[in-house]
Amino acid sequence: MLMQGTTEVNEQGVLEIGGVSVKELRDSFGSPLLVYDYQEIINNINKFKEAVASYPGEAEIIYASKAFLCRGIADIIAKNDIYIDVVSGGEMARALSGELTADRIYMHGNNKSEAELRTAITEGVNTIIVDNFYEAELINRLAREENSVVDCIVRLIPGISAHTHEFIRTGQADSKFGVSIKTGQARELIKWLVGRDNLNFKGIHAHIGSQIYDVTAFKELIWVLIKFMIELRREDNILVEKLNLGGGFGVPEKSEDPEVDVVKLVGEIAQELVESCDREDYPLPALLLEPGRSIVGSAGTSLYTVGSIKEIGELKTYLAVDGGMADNIRPALYGAEYEAFIANRCLDEEDTEVTIVGKCCESGDVLIEDELLADPEPGDILAIPATGAYTYSLSSNYNGLLRPAVLLVYQENVQVLIEREQEEDLYKNDCKLEI
């Protein structure tokens, strides 16, 4: 059983998160649930803070909010004095719906609309990550119209990729994000930005992928970026003040997955950067990191209620839960692997092999293939740990399923972060037939 954060089994053999038993949670809030462990989120943030403390230059931790965003999460980001990145007007509005102020926001995206950019400028976001020429001209015009000077970071295609799944790899040469270093477009764009009165070139950005477990890919990235920075200084006399290395720090989603020591990994990244800058006599840029999954992934646990259990002869036993690909599409979308256990009576003898499926009308609605559970019965609570990232944010109402309630637990207290969806939510935007 993957036990992260404050998750533990109490004397009655019931799983507790933040000191609250999952039975209590289901009795009070229903099923299914996505439960976040507040202490674990804070610990994850603090690991990044501790890690960059060893860096002699400035450093900023920017939470990649696409992993999971709601008002309460934005409030946590504000309270902990870190930054947040958003990729759309929708994420920006949600980030700003609570205590977080616009100067904490980095605006990303490969096709930001004019309206989104104008809002970003008038709200006063910290920085816009510029993806391409078209967008650079658009931002320049809007900044002029709004009488603003906009801080910009340019997204680069570094031409390398971390060894992860194809769908979550973004640094390769044919990426849809950013401008290419190799083709010379990156330099062209930066030179153009530097010549604009309403734009303020601050630095460069690259993100190579997700679920990265060691420093190798980051070292390669730093090397590529430093070479580019030296060229930019030598040829164009332009200095990079902020170096944003993206996110992608790995998070275990099963007991067998490697643990990533964030403090060590980020420490190695910082050291590599310091050494490279020393060697090249380059003034240390601010180091920016954008962890998403590694802030919230380990803090979330999905709780379902077991429904039908069906043996197909000798072939297979299906165990169905009251959720599925609508609330966690990652297994179906890109083969993410989790583990599960019966959480209302945690036993060591897990010897019933089942395939855990959801209630959607798709054969691909499988949460976990061939999982061993301890004698599961209808009505049991099934827990899937490490589901805090890219589950709710990728969720849908497929088959009319309602999104679960999202809870935050801390020291025996529980609060609702997002209310359970209601049936009315499914049709509140529907219009009556008028033709």
Q: Is 108 one of the binding residues for ligand PLP (CB under 6 A)?
A: yes
The residue range among 136-144, 247-255, 315-323, 352-360 that interacts with ligand PLP, by the rule CB under 6 A, is 247-255
Q: Is 126 one of the binding residues for ligand PLP (CB under 6 A)?
A: no
Q: Which of 152, 360, 361, 431 is catalytic?
A: 361
The residue range among 32-40, 240-248, 299-307, 394-402 that interacts with ligand PLP, by the rule CB under 6 A, is 240-248
How many other CB atoms sit within 10 Å of the CB of residue 76? 25
159 has binding-site annotation: no
Q: Which of residues 196-225 bind ligand PLP (CB under 6 A)?
A: 207, 210
To the nearest whole angstrom, how small is the minimum distance from the Cβ of residue 129 to ligand PLP? 8
Q: Is 242 one of the binding residues for ligand PLP (CB under 6 A)?
A: no
Take residue 96 and report the two structure tokens written for it: 């700003």
Dist CA 108 CA 88 (whole Å)? 7
Q: Is 248 one of the binding residues for ligand PLP (CB under 6 A)?
A: yes
Q: Which residues of 35-74 are buried (b: 16+ CB within 10 A; e: fewer)?
A: bbbbbbbbbbbebbeebbeebebebbbbbbbbbbbbbbbb
Dist CA 33 CA 24 (whole Å)? 12
- List 158, 246, 300, 404, residue binding ligand PLP (CB under 6 A): 246
Which residues lie below 8 Å from residue 318, measured CB to CB, with a gap of 6+?
A: 308, 309, 310, 312, 354, 355, 357
To the nearest whole angstrom, how small is the minimum distance from the Cβ of residue 246 to ligand PLP? 4
Dist CA 198 CA 192 (whole Å)? 12
361 as an active site residue: the answer is yes
The residue range among 191-199, 265-273, 285-293, 419-427 that interacts with ligand PLP, by the rule CB under 6 A, is 285-293
Closest-CB residue for ligand PLP? 292
Report the DSSP beta bridge partners of residue 178: none
To the nearest whole angstrom, how small is the minimum distance from the Cβ of residue 318 to ligand PLP? 31
83 has binding-site annotation: no
Of the candidates 52, 389, 393, 368, the residue with the CA atom closest to the CA atom of residue 210: 389
N- to C-terminal Cα separation, the chain: 56
What residues act catalytically?
361
Q: Which residues sit in the known binding site? A: 248, 290-293, 330, 334, 362, 390
Name the site residues for ligand PLP (rule: CB under 6 A): 64, 66-67, 108, 207, 210, 246-249, 290-294, 389
Q: Which residues sit in the known binding site for pyridoxal 5'-phosphate? A: 248, 290-293, 390
